Structure 1
Amino acid sequence: MPKPVAALAVVCLLAAAAGAQAQTPPVPAPTVPPTKTVRLLATGGTIAGAGQGPGASYRAGVVPIGDILRAVPGLGDVANVTAEQIANVGSYDVDEAIWRKLLDRIQVALADPQVSGVIITHGTDTLEETAYFLSLATPSTKPVVVVGSMRPGTAVSADGPQNLLDAVRVATADDARNRGAMVVMNDTIFDPRSVTKFDVRRVNAFAAPSRGPIGDVLTERPRFFAQAEPHDAALPVKGDTLPRVAIAYGYAGVRAEDIRAAASGARALVIAGVGAGSLSAGARQAVKELTAAGIPVVRTARQGVGDIWYNPAATGDLSDDALGTIAGRELTPAKARILLMLALQTPRSRNDLQALFDRYGVAGP
C-alpha cells in the first residue's frame, strides 16, 4: 500500500475510535447509601396543600407525607427518612393536643441512637409558635427542624421540596448538634426565639428582624454563623393540661373592661401593647387589679419587633414595679404566651418569671 493511502487509513481508524469513545455513555458513579437517619413528623400545612391548578387557591393539610417525600428529588441520597403522620391540618388548627403528641414522638426519636435528627413539617401560620414551644420543651443534643412552605405542591415553582431537602441537610449536619429546635425556610436557618412570619404570600415570608438568621443552606452543607449553646429542656411539660394564658391587643382607646374581658378565666395575661409595650390609663388600671389578684401580666409589643425591657421606677405609674408587670423582652405576644404557659406549671414569683423572660425571651448570647 502506498504510504499516503496507509496514512489515510490510520487517520480514519483513529477518528473512528475517537468517535466511538465520544459516543460511549459515561459509567454512572456508584450511589453511596446515606449513613444518617432522620425521623420526620408531619402535621400538614401548605407544604401538604393542593389546589385544582397552578394558581394561588388551595387547601392546606390534604397531601399525605409519603407523597410529599416522593416529590423531593435526591432526598434518599442525603439521608434515610422515616416518616409518621401526626396530623394533617392547616396550622391555624394546631393546638396543645398536637403539641403534646409531637413532643411524645420527638422524645422517642431523640432517644433512638440511630436517629440523627427530627424534622416537623408544619403550616406557616403558627410554625414559629410550635418551634418556640419545642425549643423550651426539648433538649438541644440532636437537631429538631421545623419546616414548611408558602406555596402548595400544585403551584408553579413550589418551594416545599427545596425547603424539605434543606431541612434534611440541616438535621443531618454535624454542626447542627447541640442547637435544639430550629426553623428552616427559604434557604435560611432561624432561632425560634427571634423568627416570625412577616408576609402572608411571599416565599421569603420569615425573618428575624431583631437578631437575624443563625445560618443558611446555600450549598449542600449548611452554614452556621455562631457556636452552638448546648442545653437541657428548659421547661419540660408536666401534667395533662397547660395553664390557660390569654392575649389582649392594645390600640387607641382600649378600655379597662377590654383588658378585664380578655383576662376572664385565664391564669395569666399577655398584652400586645402599643409602641414599646405601653398601656393606656384604662388598661393600666385593669392591669393593676389583675396583678394585685395574683394574675401575672406580661407586656409585649403588638408589632412583634424590638426589646421590651423592664421599665424602671423612674417612669412613675408606667413602671413595671407600679403595674406589677413583667417585661416580655424580644418575644412576640404569641411566644410570650407559650413561655408563660410552660413557666406557670410551677408556682413562680414575679421576679422568677422576669428572670425566665430575660433568659428565654432574648435570642443569642
Structure 2
Amino acid sequence: MRVERCFYGPLGFFAVGLLAMAAPVLAQSSDLPRVHVIATGGTIASSASGLIGVEQLLAGVPALRDVAQITFEQALRVGSSRVTPEDWLALAGRIDAVFRDDPQVAGVVVTHGTDSMEETAFFLDLVVGDARPVVVTGAMRSADAVGADGPANLLSAARVAGDPAARGRGVLVVMNDEVHEARFVVKAHTLRVQAFASPESGPVGTVEAEGVRFRRGSAPRPGPFDLSGVQALPEVGIDYSFIGAPGDALRRATESGMSGVVVAAFGSGRVSEGQAAEIGRALNEGVVVVLSSRVGSGLARDEYGGGLASGGRNVLSAGILNPQKARVLLMVALTQTRDMGELARIFLHYS
C-alpha cells in the first residue's frame, strides 16, 4: 500500500508519500528507523529523458528496504545551479515541519545537485535546530550512466540519517561512502566520484559494510539562527581577486545598496589596488565586507600587513570559510544584526 497526498507550499507543488510494508517499490520493516527523503533534482535524478522523480529515484535503490522506512517528497526538480535563496528558506521550513510533525522520524535525507551542495548544506546547518540528522547527498554521474554513483550515495545517506550516532552533529554531506560536516566540506573536483573533501578536518566518518563509523565525537554546535518571519535573505555578492582586479562586485554593491560583499582574496588576505579602493568606498557606504581566500583551505587573515584588516578598517574575517560559505553565513547573519561587533562575534563563532 502506498499512502500519498499532495499540497502546495512555498516551493510550489510537493508530492508527499509513504512507502509502507506492502509498497510496490520497497518492502520495509516497522522495526527500522524512519527516514524522510526530500528530493530537489540534480545529477542524481538526471537522465537522458530529463530529471526523474523521487519515486523512480527510490525504486532504483531496492536495498533501502533493509535500511529504513522511507517517506518522501519532491520539493524541487532542478539542477543545483538553479537553486535560489528563496528555495533555501522553503527547504529549511519543510525540514523543520517534518521534525515538528513527526517525532518518530530519525532523520532527513536531502538529494541535491553537487554544484551548490556545500552551500545548501551549510545554510541548513546554520538554521535547522533539531538534533536529528539532516544528510545531504547527490551524485557525480547521472542516473542512467554506466557506474552511476547515486544509488550507493542515497543508500549510504539513509544509513547515516537513521543512525543514532549521527544525532547532534549538524548537517552532514554523504558522498562516496564518506561523511563530511557541512562547515568543512567542499566540492574539490569537477567530475570524479570522490569529488567531495574536507581540507581542514577530513571526513568525520565513513559508511562501511558493517555500518556507519564516526572517527570523532560530535563537537558542541552554536545555536541555530531563527529565521522565522524572514521572507528573503539579504543580497550579498562575491568579489574575486586576480591580477589587476578592479573590484567590480564591490563597486556594484556600493552603487546598488547591496548588504554585503565577500572578497575572495589572494593567499591569506591580500587584494589588488583596485579592490582596496573599492573596499574603502563600500565601507563608507555601510556595506559589510568579509575577507575570505580564493586558495581553498587555510585561514583568511592579514598576516602580511598593509592589507584589509590593518589601518582600522572594519573588515570581517571569514576564518576557514571559503568565499561561497562566507557569503551564506553573512546572508544569514545579516537577518539578525548589522552591528559590526556582533557580526564579528558570529564569524568567529561559526567559522
1:102 pairs, out of 87, 91, 94, with: 91
In the TM superposition, what is the alpha-carbon distance from 1:321 to its structure 2 partner?
4.9
Q: Residue 36 of structure 1 corresponds to which residue in structure 2? A: 33
* 1:87-236 alignment, distance < 5 Å: 87-111=76-100, 112-229=102-219, 231=221, 233-236=223-226
In 2: Cα distance, 1:227 partner to 1:191 partner = 12
In the TM superposition, what is the alpha-carbon distance from 1:332 to its structure 2 partner?
1.2
Change (3 A) 1:355 1:77: same
1:197-247 CA deviation, whole Å, 9 max, x = no partner? 111111001111121111110224111122123547421224211111111
State the AA in 2 paired with 1:123.
G
Is 1:323 the counterpart of 2:313? The answer is yes
Is 1:252 the counterpart of 2:266? The answer is no
1:58-85 CA deviation, whole Å, 9 max, x = no partner? x5xx100101101113201111010000
In 2: Cα distance, 1:345 partner to 1:321 partner = 28
8 A Cα contact 2:170 2:181, kept in partner: no
Give the match's secondary structure for 2:47. coil
State the AA in 2 paired with 1:69.
L
In the TM superposition, what is the alpha-carbon distance from 1:121 to its structure 2 partner?
0.2
1:163-182 CA deviation, whole Å, 9 max, x = no partner? 00000000010100111211
Is 1:243 the counterpart of 2:240? The answer is no
State the AA in 2 paired with 1:36.
P
State the AA in 2 paired with 1:283.
Q
8 A Cα contact 2:250 2:261, kept in partner: no
In 1: Cα distance, 2:30 partner to 2:337 partner = 51
Change (3 A) 1:207 1:38: same
Give the match's secondary structure for 1:124. coil
Q: Residue 356 of structure 1 corresponds to which residue in structure 2? A: 346
1:82-111 CA deviation, whole Å, 9 max, x = no partner? 000001000000112211221111011112
Q: Residue 6 of structure 2 corresponds to which residue in structure 1? A: none
In 1: Cα distance, 2:249 partner to 2:32 partner = 57
State the AA in 1 paired with 2:147.
S
What percentage of residue pairs aligned between the two structures are identical? 39
Which segment drifts farther, 194-203 or 318-327?
318-327
In 2: Cα distance, 1:71 partner to 1:320 partner = 56
2:263 pairs, out of 257, 271, 274, with: 271
8 A Cα contact 1:141 1:231, kept in partner: no
**Structure 1 length normalisation: TM-score?**
0.83
Is 1:67 the counterpart of 2:64? The answer is no
Unaligned segments of structure 2, at least 5 residues: 1-27
Which segment drifts farther, 198-207 or 285-294?
285-294
8 A Cα contact 1:320 1:326, kept in partner: no
In 1: Cα distance, 2:255 partner to 2:224 partner = 29
Highest Rg: 1 or 2?
A: 1
Give the match's secondary structure for 1:40. strand
Change (3 A) 1:316 1:215: same
In 2: Cα distance, 1:334 partner to 1:132 partner = 10
Q: How many pairs were matched up?
A: 321
State the AA in 1 paired with 2:349.
R
In the TM superposition, what is the alpha-carbon distance from 1:359 to its structure 2 partner?
1.3
In 2: Cα distance, 1:347 partner to 1:153 partner = 43
In 1: Cα distance, 2:126 partner to 2:311 partner = 27
Give the match's secondary structure for 1:209. coil
In 2: Cα distance, 1:277 partner to 1:183 partner = 28
- Looking at secondary structure, tell me which structure has more helix per residue: 1
In the TM superposition, what is the alpha-carbon distance from 1:322 to its structure 2 partner?
3.3
Unaligned segments of structure 1, at least 5 residues: 1-30, 53-58
In the TM superposition, what is the alpha-carbon distance from 1:258 to its structure 2 partner?
5.7
Q: CA RMSD in A?
A: 1.9
In 2: Cα distance, 1:321 partner to 1:344 partner = 25
**Structure 2 length normalisation: TM-score?**
0.86
In 1: Cα distance, 2:78 partner to 2:307 partner = 45
